Structure 1
């Protein structure tokens, strides 16, 4: 997308995860994505991020579609409106994600990880916001990789970051943002030993193949966006633009829950 003329080529997306019901925060973010696409005379893509089949349910997926349509949100491509950039469900895209893993692996940018979450927590290395534990540099694998065969799908694979590296990007709401490896995050999972891609890798691959020009999401995913920028750069792909929406919190100042279906009453109550 041209920064001088954002109406030149705009493709946005809705990417709900059907692991629970949508709430007011989702409604705010998805409404903003819809409005941004309309303002730019662009295309809005609906993608079902149902990557984790152990958590995702058809009941939630159907409720998600019904609730978004009830809010008047429309899209031009999706599972119900096939286009040239499908599939539009992550559960059908495993081969795309594995191909990206292989490319990163052949560049020496990922390594096998056998450390448990408990081992990582026990080191006690927290990031600046105390929101997550950093993966210690001393845990990295330095074994030579055998490029005669493709990487195993039954192993955890981590992206090899450079401590001290700064990742910056322009957010279309928050302005210029900068994150630092070793302070905000460190080596992160791109593939899980249960045979599935991580959220970060799958999201980057789908946004690239669907030619998404701007990602509208909640500001709780700012660090995730920085991680994704590293993957975009490593793959030699152009980054999309970003627009991080303000979070909706409950009375206690916590993120809203997906456990109760609350959006339906927004458009069914007289």
Structure 2
């Protein structure tokens, strides 16, 4: 309900402003397509540095290249443990930790672990919980963040909610709806995830954002990290800032 002033007039809530720099820090750059050359990856890293993006996401084989290109910047270098594994594989704790340490040595600053139906359902999810907990605990002293990547294509709504609860219990820093495999989360699923996560666990929606207005609306819905066409979004934000402050719309007022 909208607040009223002592005079009885409606008080319009003050909208939150966000800068272009803050917007940039909500974007990941996807540099993992099969057809990308080393030059393409280097160019993508240079673009990420230029705009001050949150992170680039690369295949394990390209970690050293990306890390070298991003050296000295604030842009993170993200990959996934078990990138080349079959999604039905259980991701055993010791093997996962061994691979994680190799990835960190190659330059990763953030690691993901994919939660699939096969992993969540195996023995009531106990082995996957053990693996995720061990990964978070081992990476935290190294300053390496862990994100839980959910697979909406294989998980039921109930399992997606359980995965979010697991993310909170194991202190991962971000949960992600969708990956490079299968379909991405839809809006209903990403809202379910937000409602199932504490606010101190960030939420990423992997469905690419194509318009600045959509990006601002998603931020208003509590989504923290995005994919999208970096150049188009950042140029649109730059043009918009020339006209006035960028503002996040308010639920119940603007939509």
TM-score range, shorter chain: under 0.3
Length-normalised TM-score, structure 2: 0.27
Q: Which has the higher helix share?
A: 2
| Length-normalised TM-score, structure 1 | 0.26
Bigger relative CO (Cα 8 Å, ≥ 6 apart): 1
